[in-house]
Amino acid sequence: MTTMQMILIVCPLVFLASFVDSIAGGGGLISLPAFMLTGMPVHMACGSNKFSACAGSIISAVRFYKNGKMHVLGAVISGILALAGAAIGSKLNLMIDSSTLKKIFLIILPVVAVFVLFGGNSRRRKTLLEGKKLYLSCALIGFFIGAYDGLIGPGTGTFMIFCYTTFVGFDYVTASGNAKVANLSSNFASMVLYLFAGQILFSVTVPAAICCICGGWLGSGMAIQKGSKFIKAMLIVVLIGIFGKLIWDLHLFG
C-alpha cells in the first residue's frame, strides 16, 4: 500500500475518532484500528496512533484548563504518575510479538468498546475526597490507567472519567478535564518510547495529527442535544466494519 493510500484511509478515520472522542469518548477504538487497516506493523500502528493522539490531547487539555474545568493539582499528580505507568506499559507492548499483539487487540478492543458504549456512565461518589486521599487516588488512577494506555490504549479517557467520578467524587466535567491531562501525559510517554524504537511513520501520522486536531476542536466546540447517542450509534457501525476487516486479514475463520 502506498503512503497516499494509507493517508486516505487513516486521515478521515482519525478525524472521526477525534470528533467522537471529544463528544462521547472512545475515539481510540477507531484511530488505532485505522492505522492497523493500512497493513503497517502493529507496533508502528501503536506508535503512529500515539503521535496523532498527542496532538488532539494537547488541544483538549488546553481548552479544559482555560475554562477552569479541572482540579489542577489532582490533574498534575495523575499526569506525573501516568507518565511512569505509560512508559512501563509501552515497554511491555514493544516486547510482545507483533502477530500476538494484533490478536490481543482483536480480543480486548471489542470488550473495551462494550464498556465505552454501555458501561461508561458511572454514578458519582456522593462526597468528594479531600487531602491525601484525593491525591493518592489521583496518583493510583494516573499510574494504572496510564499503564493500560501504554500497553493497549483505546478507552483510556473513558476509564479515567469512570474512576474520577466513582472513586474521587469529581463531577463529570472536572473528571473529563483531569482525564485529558493524564491522557496527554500517558500519550506523550508512549510516543517518546515508540519514537526511539523507530515505530512512528511520520509520513502518515503528521497528516493524521492535523486531522486529529481539527476533529477534536470541532467536536469539543459543538453543543448538540442527544449528540452523544448519535455518535455512539455511528461508533458501532464504524467498529463493525473495522474489526471485520482486521479479522479477515488474520484469516481467523479459515
Domain spans, the chain: 8-250
| CA distance to 19, 84, 155, 234, per residue, from 227 (Å) | 11, 35, 19, 11
pLDDT digits 0-9 by tens, 59-91: 878 888 888 889 999 999 999 999 999 999 999
Name residue 80's amino acid. I
Read off the DSSP letter of residue 123: P
Q: Which residues of the chain have pLDDT under 70?
A: 23-25, 119-123, 220-239, 241-254
The SS3 call for residue 205 is helix
Assess contact for 63 and 218: CB atoms under 8 A. Answer: no
Residue 225 is predicted with a pLDDT of: 44
Nearest alpha carbon to residue 32 among 21, 180, 68, 115:
21
Residue 246 is predicted with a pLDDT of: 62
What's the rounded Cα separation, in Å, for the pair 111 and 242?
15
Residue 236 is predicted with a pLDDT of: 67
